[in-house]
Each structure stands twice: as structure tokens, then as C-alpha cells.
Amino acid sequence: MVVEGQLLAPSGQSRGQPPLSPFDPKRTVIHSSIIRSSPRTSSMHNDLAMLDVRPMPYAVLVSVLGAIVSAAIALFGFRSWAALTVAPIIGGPLGLLFAIFSLRRHDLPLRSTLEAYRSAAGVSEALERYLKSALSVGLIVACIELPSIMLGQDTALTICVAGCTIVLGGTIYRSWRLTNSPVRLDVFQVAGGIGCLVIFGWMGYVFTTEIRPWTFDRTIPLIDLAKIIFVLNGVAALLSAVLACFALAIASSLSAATDDLER
């Protein structure tokens, strides 16, 4: 800006000094202070601070889950692209109706979140607790079975199968001991548990019926044999945790229904 034929120097610079370079730190500080003090910038910061990111309502989440589950059933059950196209259109509204019924059952508004529904319905985190217990049992059993690889692959795999049975029984027993309140699951935990049973159950079925490493003529390396032991015990731990959680949830539901009938 020109005043009386002279160029005004920026703040902090005398008239006798050369002009500041665009990359000079002083000019950068001046510009940043101007930007911070700009009313428009302050308004933008206030608008961003007022933004409130709220969690998705429970009804919307269940509707999406219904569409995904129905699409998975159509894809793997019917193996038809036409069914895959129609299934989400049916599954989404059905999931929404189920969510509305669940919310009304506990006198909750339609905008309730998943956390609010779980708190009102008394949904427990039993699956996560049982999973940690099952994995610890599976790890202990796998470490005990590990020296059996020195006895040969047939003996090691036979001991491993027996150990998986121990993991199943030990997980159910520990889960029963850890349960001090009724086990209640929501639709997300049930869907995740069923998916876990299907995936890992199918893997176990393929391993025992198709791969059958105990029938190999060649010798399995010790490192691969050790991996098989840990993987099988880990899969057994996951399946046993889900089965234990489902069994205790069904037992809790039956007990609650019996108490209601007696009243």
C-alpha cells in the first residue's frame, strides 16, 4: 500500500531495511498471526468444535447386519446371483423390524445406540471373557503336546486330537466356573459366533476329511508339525469358547423362562 510516495514496511521492519523475502520466518509469523486472528478462521474453528460425531443408531446397525447376513446366505447357500441381488432388499427391512421390536421391548427410543441397548438388555461381554479363557487353555495344552513331535508325526497328531478334546472340555468347565450372572447375547454376538462356527468348523472338517496329514507317506518337518499342533489347538479354543457361550446363554434363557412360568 502506497502512502505519500512511500511503501509502508511490514510490522517489525524499518523503512531503511530491505523488504522481507516471501520465505522469511518473520513474514511467516506475521501471516500466521493474521490468519489466527481472522474472524472467518475463528468462525470455522467454532463450527468444527460444535460438530458432534454421534454413534450409529442400533436400528440402522441391525438393518445393515440383516442385509449382510441375507446376502451371505444367498451367496453361499443358494449360489445364485439373482438371489444375491434380492436378499439384501429382504434382509435389511427384516433386520430393521427386529431392531424396532427389540427396542420397544425394553422401552427404548428408536434413536438408541448399541451401547444403550446393551445396557438396558443386560447384554454381557461373556464371549470375550470365554475367548480369553479358551485361548489360554489351548496355549497350555499345545505347549504340553509339543514334545510329542519327537515321537513321530502319527503319535503327535493323535495326541493333538486328544488335546483338542481336552481344550473343549476345559473351556466349558472354566466358562461355567467364571459365570456368576445370566449370559445374555445380542444379535451381533450371535451372528459373529455363528460365523465363527461355520468358518472354523469348515476348516476343521476339510483338515480331517480332505487333508488328513496323518495319512501322508512323506515325513512332515518338525517345524510344520509344531505349527499344526498350535493351529489345531487354537481353532479348538475358538470353537469351544463360542459353544460354551451359546450353551450358557441358552441355559440362562431357559432358566429365566422357567422362573417366569413359576411366577
> Residue 121 corresponds to which cell in the numbers above?
438388555
Q: Which of 79, 103, 120 is the last residue of a domain?
A: 120
pLDDT at 203: 81
Confirm whether 163 is domain-assigned: yes
Residues 143 and 245 in one domain: yes
Instruction: Indicate if 108 and 181 belong to the same structural domain.
Output: no
Asked if residue 111 is part of any domain, the answer here is yes
Task: Write the CA distances from 260 to 122, 238, 254, integer angstroms.
Answer: 17, 33, 10
35 is a domain residue: yes
Q: The domain containing residue 177 runs over which residues? A: 124-253
Question: Is residue 117 within 8 Å of 102, Cβ to Cβ?
Answer: yes
106 with 128, same domain: the answer is no
Q: Average pLDDT for residues 207-235, to the nearest whole number?
A: 80
Average pLDDT, the chain: 77
pLDDT at position 16 over 80 = no
Domain boundary (120, 150, 170) is at 120
101 and 156 together in one domain? no
Rg (CA), the chain: 31
The pLDDT of residue 60 is 92
Number of H-type helices and E-type strands within the chain: 9, 2
* Domain presence at residue 260: no
Same domain, 176 and 205: yes
Question: Do 94 and 198 fall within a single domain?
Answer: no
**Residue 214: what pLDDT?**
64
- Which residues lie closer than 8 Å to 235 by C-beta, 6 or more apart? 200, 203, 204
Cell 471373557 found at: 129
Residues 67 and 139 in one domain: no
Count other C-beta atoms under 10 Å from residue 39's C-beta.
7
User: What pLDDT score was predicted for residue 253?
Assistant: 80
Predicted TM-score (pTM) of the model is 0.65
**150 and 84 in one domain?**
no
Percent of the chain with pLDDT over 90: 13
Structural domains counted in the chain = 3
User: Which of 168, 150, 175 lies closest to 232 in space, CA to CA?
Assistant: 168
User: Is the pLDDT higher at 124 or at 49?
Assistant: 124
Answer whether residue 162 shows pLDDT above 50. Answer: yes
Shared domain check, 168 and 156: yes
Do 134 and 73 belong to one domain? no
Please indicate, yes or no, whether residues 185 and 149 belong to a single structural domain of this protein. yes
Residue 141 and residue 147: Cα distance in Å, rounded?
Answer: 11
Let me know whether 183 and 89 are in one domain: no
Would you say residue 101 lies in a domain? yes
Asked if residue 263 is part of any domain, the answer here is no
CA-based nearest residue to 189, from 237, 234, 131: 131
**Residue 240 included in any domain:** yes
Percent of the chain with pLDDT over 70: 73
pLDDT digits (tens, 9 = 90+) for 41-98: 455 545 444 444 578 889 999 999 999 999 988 888 888 888 888 999 999 999 999 9
Residue 215 lies in a domain: yes
Q: Which three cell numbers stand for residue 217?
A: 507317506
Quick one: average pLDDT of 151-157?
Answer: 83
191 C-beta neighbours (distance < 10 Å), count: 17
Dihedral (CA of 165, 169, 175, 177) sign: negative
Which of the listed residues 36, 53, 70 is the one where a domain comes to its end? 53
